Amino acid sequence: MGIRKTEQQIPSGLSATDLGHAVSGPDGKTALISFNFNPIVLQRTQAYVVFVLENASDVETIEWSFENDDISETINTNVGYVEYQPQKVGHISIKATLKGPADETQETLKLQQLVVPPNTELEDLYEQDEEVAPLAGNPETSREVINDYRGYMDELTPRDADNHSTLNRLLFAISYVEDMALPASERNSRLEQIAGSLDVDDSSLFAEEGLTGIGLCKIRPHILGMYLPVTPGGSDWYLERKEFDLQDSLSASRELQKALTELPVEKQIDLFNLLRFPKSNLKMAIQILIELKEQYFPSEDWESLITNKDKTKLLLDQFKRGPYLSS
C-alpha cells in the first residue's frame, strides 16, 4: 500500500509542527509527526505518522526503528502509521526509513524525544484512600489527558493568559469528557479506518463518523468547515456558513453532511488531518469556540460566559450541533 493519500498532504497553510511534535526532511517534502506532546510518558502508547508530499508512489514500506536507551525494536509497516510504547525513562530515537519496491532506502527521518515518568501528582492522588481518589475523576482518562495532551493545551491556551485560565479549563473539560467516552485506543483505530477509506476516495465513513465527532474533542467536520478558512486568515470557508432553527437541526445536519461529501477529496483530507492529530484537534476546538462566542456572545468575556450555566450549555450544544437560533 505504501503512502496513503491522507499522508500525502499537510493541511493548507500549515506545517508539520502545527499537527504535533515533528521533524521534516531536508527538502521539506517529508515529515515524521508524533501524536503526543514531547516529552512522552513511560509505557503509554505513542502514535507516529510519516508524510511524503512528493513522489509518494516510490515508497512501498516503512521501517520504523525505536532506540529507547538500551532497548531497540524494529517494526515494518505498509502504511505511514505505527504505535509504540516506550519502556524506559530517558531518551528515545524514532527513525522512519522509507523503502522502495526493491527494498531500497529512499529517505530516513529521525525524531528525538524524551521519556518521562507519569505525572507524579496524579499518581500520588490515586495512591491515597479510595475516599479521596475519586476527586481525580476517571483514572485512565485523567492519565491520558494529563500525560499526553495537557502540554498541547497549555501551549495553545496558556494558563496565565487570563486570571482564571478560562479557555484552558474549557478545552480541558471538553477533551476530558470526550476522551472518557472514546479513549485513544479506540479513537485511533477509527481514525485508521477513515484514513483507509479516504485513500480509495470513499468519504462515506468520514461523513458518518463526523456526525458524532472525530478525534480527541469529537469535532464534527461539517461544523468545523463553516468556521475554518481554506486560506489562514481568509474568509474562504471550507463550507458555506449557515444558521438554522433548532427544530431543523436534523435536516440541517444532513444538508451539511452532503456538502462535506461533495468537497474535493483534497479538502476532505485536510479536514481529516486537522481532526486526526490531538494538537491540531485541540486548536480546531479553540477555533470553533472562539467563532461561536463572537457570533452569539460578542460582548461577553470568557470567564463571565462559562460561569453562566445557560450560556455555557448553549455554547457547547452549538459546538456539537452547529450554529442555531435559540428560542
Cβ density class 7-26: b for 16+ within 10 Å, e for less: bbebbeeeebebbbbbbbbe
Q: Contact at 8 Å (CB) between 232 and 18?
A: no
pLDDT tens across 251-285, in order?
888 888 899 999 999 999 999 999 999 999 999 99
DSSP state of 85: -
- Write out the residue limits of the CATH 2.60.40.10 domain(s) in the chain: 5-116
Separation of alpha carbons 219 and 319, rounded Å: 8
Separation of alpha carbons 319 and 322, rounded Å: 6
* Strand-pair partners of 324: 244
**Cα-flanking dihedrals φ and ψ of residue 303, to 5°?**
-65, -45
Burial class (CB in 10 A: 0-12, 13-18, 19+), 29: middle
Sign of CA dihedral 246, 247, 253, 255: negative
Distance (Å) of CA 166 to CA 12, 35, 160, 188, 316: 30, 25, 10, 29, 14
Helix (H, G, I), strand (E, B) or coil at 146: helix
Q: What is the pLDDT of residue 135?
A: 47
H-state helical runs in the chain? 120-126, 139-144, 150-156, 166-181, 184-199, 204-210, 221-227, 249-261, 265-276, 278-296, 302-306, 309-321
Separation of alpha carbons 274 and 272, rounded Å: 5
pLDDT tens across 94-103, in order?
999 999 999 9
- For the chain, residues with pLDDT lower than 50 are 129, 131-135
Q: Which residue has the cell 529507547?
A: 68
Q: Contact at 8 Å (CB) between 89 and 115?
A: yes
DSSP state of 308: S
At the top level of CATH, which class does the domain 5-116 belong to? mainly beta
Separation of alpha carbons 41 and 45, rounded Å: 9
**Which among 30, 82, 308, 93 is positioned nearest to 192, based on CA atoms?**
82
Q: What is the pLDDT of residue 136?
A: 54
Separation of alpha carbons 156 and 151, rounded Å: 9
Q: What is the pLDDT of residue 133?
A: 40
- Cis before 39 (ω within 30): yes
